[in-house]
């Protein structure tokens, strides 16, 4: 298949498989989503979902979280990894939300990315899933599959994001990034498909014989 044909097939196939992909991180508002996405760095969504109920029982608003001791936050989120950095970021960004944003999560990239522990990908997830702003956050799953499907050079996540935004319609970005994540987890895992086994890889590259090595995010 040519690239345009691959894009059309992938877009159609993922829409068939996941017509209404749920947000994998449990949350109840933009603040809880922001915290959950921050915790998901180098951690599975499933593990985050086991930790956040206890965290939000402790504090479920920026005001309450800002008043918490960093050590108390760290004790709860330790299973998510990187707990020293994440606990400081959670307490710190909560204080900033109180002081500078009237305790509201900002709905723009510039202010989000100024918050401790919030990079471009985290901001992108919040913009897409909390505020329905067209965004295409690229995680390790998306970065890997975009390379396997030859939609990007894969040199870095910024390049991958730009390439995917150019190839797919803007009104598909928010849903498509979730669809690719679910497909990666269920059908095209890092140590299982290697660009050879799953339906999309086989349909798009029927002549591929060797395992495809991808660049890490």
Give catalytic status of residue 121 as yes or no.
Answer: yes
Q: Which of 29, 139, 170, 211 is catalytic?
A: 139
At 1, list the tokens.
């298949």
Q: Which of 121, 150, 165, 211 is catalytic?
A: 121
At 157, list the tokens.
């996540």
Give catalytic status of residue 139 as yes or no.
Answer: yes
Among positive and negative, which fits the CA dihedral 50, 106, 113, 90?
Answer: negative
| Runs of H (alpha helix) within the chain | 3-17, 30-39, 45-58, 62-66, 70-77, 83-100, 109-112, 120-129, 140-148, 157-167, 173-186, 199-204
Which positions are catalytic? Answer: 121, 139
């Amino acid at each position: 298949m040519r690239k345009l044909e691959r894009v059309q097939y992938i877009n159609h196939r993922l829409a068939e498989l996941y017509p209404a992909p749920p947000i994998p991180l449990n949350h109840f508002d933009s603040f809880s989503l922001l915290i959950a996405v921050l915790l998901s760095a180098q951690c599975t969504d499933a593990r985050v979902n086991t930790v956040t109920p206890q965290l939000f029982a402790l504090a479920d608003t920026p005001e309450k979280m800002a008043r918490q001791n960093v050590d108390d936050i760290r004790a709860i989120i330790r299973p998510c990894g990187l707990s020293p950095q994440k606990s400081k970021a959670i307490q710190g960004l909560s204080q900033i939300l109180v002081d500078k944003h009237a305790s509201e999560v900002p709905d723009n990239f510039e202010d989000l990315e100024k918050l401790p522990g919030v990079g471009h990908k985290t901001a992108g997830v919040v913009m897409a899933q909390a505020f329905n702003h067209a965004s295409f956050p690229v995680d390790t799953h998306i970065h890997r599959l975009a390379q396997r499907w030859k939609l990007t050079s894969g040199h870095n996540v910024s390049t991958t994001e730009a390439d995917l935004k150019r190839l797919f319609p803007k009104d598909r970005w928010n849903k498509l990034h979730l669809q690719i994540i679910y497909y990666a987890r269920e059908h095209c895992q890092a140590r299982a498909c290697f660009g050879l086994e799953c339906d999309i890889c086989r349909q798009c590259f029927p002549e591929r014989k060797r395992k495809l090595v991808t660049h890490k995010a």
